[in-house]
């Protein structure tokens, strides 16, 4: 049994007004066995013990991996100090920086992703592409949020909820890396990949928006 928390993708950003254009609708499917209709305000009550351990060590492991990536993007810096990591609900442009176990990082073209309110929590969803993570964001102090979700790997399918299947579960950390810029570091999303770093910033209303440097 599944419950879907809809993400309305033509949203009014607090920064910039409404983008008047037609987009697709994304949903975050929530697995009932792990996440109830009234989710806990503490992510540790939701995550598996093995995932709690991974998230605890993620910052140190990312710091060790990022210098070997061969990429200089700000999204891969490890010494971010920006506080208050909660993005405003709305439409964002996103791009993925993939850090493999062997070789240099690969950066993919920008796409759309969406942040929406879900009660006291936020949800995040990548709207396009072959691997589309979606899930909830839990507060974890003043410096970051914890992401627990799943990944849809078939076009048009809902993302499975966290806990539905370890093979599709996705976990990560969100922090703010600059003015109106955030990143989601997803831990080990597939064999051979250490991290997917999803950098995102508010959509200005143009498909030709340049990505931040």
Average pLDDT (5-11) is 37
Looking at the DSSP assignment, which residues form a beta bridge with residue 28? 5, 159
By residue range, what is the domain housing residue 106? 2-202
Does 175 map to a domain? yes
**Nearest to 147, CA basis, from 128, 120, 170:** 170
* Mean pLDDT of the region 112-126: 92
Is residue 79, in this structure, part of any structural domain at all? yes
Judged against a pLDDT cut of 80, whether residue 199 lies above it is answered with: yes
Overall number of domains in the chain: 1
Task: Decide if 78 contacts 138 (C-beta within 8 A).
Answer: no
CB-based contact 122:116 (threshold 8 Å): yes
Cα gap 155→14, rounded to integer Å: 30
Q: Residue 49: inside a domain, yes or no?
A: yes
Is residue 212 predicted with pLDDT exceeding 60? Answer: no
Residue 184 lies in a domain: yes
User: Each residue of 123-173: pLDDT tens digit?
Assistant: 999 987 778 899 999 988 878 899 999 997 776 778 889 988 888 999 999
The string of DSSP letters for 179-199 reads TTEEEEEEE--STTEEEEEEE
Which residues in the chain belong to E strands, given as ranges?
A: 2-7, 12-13, 17-18, 26-31, 90-100, 106-107, 111-118, 121-126, 132-139, 145-152, 169-178, 181-187, 193-202
- Please write the tens of the pLDDT for every residue from 182-195: 999 999 998 999 99
Q: What is the mean pLDDT of residues 10-33?
A: 37
- Whether the pLDDT of residue 207 is over 90: the answer is no
Residues 6+ away with beta carbon under 8 Å from 125: 7, 26, 27, 28, 113, 114, 116, 132, 133, 134, 135, 159
- pLDDT exceeds 50 at position 174: yes
Residue 213 lies in a domain: no
207 in any annotated domain? no
Whether the pLDDT of residue 10 is over 60: the answer is no
pLDDT in tens, 63-111: 888 865 555 467 887 766 667 778 999 999 999 999 999 888 888 999 9
Domain assignment present for 47:
yes
Do the domain assignments include residue 211? no
Mean pLDDT, residues 189-203 taken together: 93
> Can you state the percent helix, strand and coil of the chain, rounding each to 5?
10, 40, 45
Comparison of pLDDT for 121 and 18, the residue scoring more: 121
CA dist 21 and 11 (Å) reads 11
pLDDT value at residue 39:
55
pLDDT of residue 65: 87
Helix (H, G, I), strand (E, B) or coil at 92: strand
């Amino acid at each position: 049994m599944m419950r879907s928390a809809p993400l309305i993708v033509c949203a009014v950003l607090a920064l910039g007004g409404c983008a008047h254009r037609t987009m697709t609708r994304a949903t975050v499917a929530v697995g009932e066995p792990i996440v109830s209709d009234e989710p806990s305000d503490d992510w540790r009550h939701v995550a598996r013990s093995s995932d709690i351990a991974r998230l605890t060590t993620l910052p140190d492991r990312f710091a060790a991996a990022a210098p070997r990536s061969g990429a200089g993007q700000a999204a891969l810096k490890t010494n971010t100090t920006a506080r208050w990591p909660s993005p405003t609900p709305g439409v964002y442009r996103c791009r993925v920086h993939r850090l493999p176990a062997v070789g240099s990082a690969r950066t993919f073209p920008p796409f759309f992703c969406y942040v929406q309110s879900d009660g006291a929590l936020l949800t995040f969803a990548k709207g396009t592409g072959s691997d589309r993570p979606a899930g909830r964001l839990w507060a974890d102090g003043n410096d970051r949020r914890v992401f627990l979700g799943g990944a849809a790997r078939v076009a048009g399918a809902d993302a499975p909820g966290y806990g539905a299947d370890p093979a599709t579960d996705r976990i990560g950390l969100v922090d703010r890396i600059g003015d109106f810029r955030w990143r989601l570091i997803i831990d080990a999303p597939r064999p051979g990949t250490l991290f997917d770093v999803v950098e995102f910033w508010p959509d200005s209303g143009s498909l030709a928006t340049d990505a931040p440097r």
